[in-house]
Amino acid sequence: MKKLSTLALIAALGAWTSASATIIQGTSLSDQLYAAGARNINVNTDQALDEKWQVTATGFAGARLLFELAGFANENAFGVYDLTNTSNRLTIFSGPNGVGARGLLANEGNEFCAQLWMGATSCSTFGSSFFGFFLQTPGGTFYSQEHLNADNEDHMVAFEGGEHHGTIAGRPWVENEFILAWEDLFGGGDRDFDDFGVLVGPILAIAEPATLALFGLGLLGVFYFTRRRRVRFTWAKN
């Protein structure tokens, strides 16, 4: 019984987590991931935390443009922004960059630098060592933090690599490497999320305080119920 109630709570937490996933329309994103070499990803149920990020201890992350099936393919620009000031940004890929383009993001503390492969480096000081991703389109700029989007729509979903997740550009797609898939139309458009796809890593997603609090509450609940049962069980024995 104790095990059952714990499992039920964990299942409930899991259901809540997947309920917050963004719905992807059509099979194009799945097809694009597969064509890039990604394996064993369900685009609707395997979405990772994706709002706030940091570079891992290595201080460097690579970026590779995987797909951009969009009318704005020659105009959309992608990069990172300061969580404390969204106009403080560094562009990694600009509109003319296409599939196969590579870039680099480096950071030391609050200092961030971005570079297109073999291109010029641009640097900026952010308000923290964390950052978000943006996609700048002719219809507006969209942010990995959904609440910052003027249309209140989620415009980016993320998928993390790992064991049995395939090979991208000749290298295994490993943990801490994320494919970020964007919807580039204001209002949500066709919600195919194949408009801009980029592999970035190694990076880490940062949990929202609210998510952490809820997860904490869930754990407290498990603790409370298992404790109550244990107490009752002891009384019964006496």
Restricting to residues 1-40, name those near Ca ion by CB under 5 A. Answer: none
Q: How far is the CB of 71 from Ca ion (least distance, A)?
A: 8
Q: How far is the CB of 152 from Ca ion (least distance, A)?
A: 12
**Any contact of residue 160 with Ca ion (CB under 5 A)?**
no
Contact track, Ca ion, 55-84, x by CB under 5 A: --------------xx--x-----------
Q: Which is nearer to Ca ion, 76 or 107 (CB)?
A: 76
Q: How far is the CB of 115 from Ca ion (least distance, A)?
A: 17
**Any contact of residue 208 with Ca ion (CB under 5 A)?**
no
For residue 65, which of 159, 168, 141, 202 has the smallest C-alpha distance?
A: 168
- 218 — alpha (psi -120 to 50), left (phi > 0) or beta? alpha
Say how many residues touch Ca ion, by CB under 5 A: 12
The three-state (H, E, C) secondary structure of the chain, written as one string: CHHHHHHHHHHHHHHHHHHCCCCCCCCHHHHHHHHHCECCCCCCCCCCCCCEEEECCCCEEEEEEEECCCCCCCCCEEEEEECCEEEEEEEEECCCCCCCCEEEEEEECCEEEEEECCCCEEEEECCCCCEEEEEEECCEEEECCHHHCCCCCCCEEEEECCCCCEEECCEECCCCCEEEEECCCHHHCCCCCCCEEEEEECEEEECCHHHHHHHHHHHHHHHHHHHHHHHHHHHHHC
Tell which one of 194, 198, 201, 203 touches Ca ion (CB under 5 A).
Answer: 194
Tell which one of 111, 175, 190, 208 touches Ca ion (CB under 5 A).
Answer: 190
**Any contact of residue 201 with Ca ion (CB under 5 A)?**
no
Of 114-122, 168-176, 178-186, 207-215: span binding Ca ion (CB under 5 A): 178-186
**Any contact of residue 177 with Ca ion (CB under 5 A)?**
no
Of 38-46, 53-61, 147-155, 227-235: span binding Ca ion (CB under 5 A): 147-155
Q: How far is the CB of 177 from Ca ion (least distance, A)?
A: 17
For Ca ion, the binding residues (CB under 5 A) are 50, 69-70, 73, 154, 156, 183, 189-190, 192, 194-195
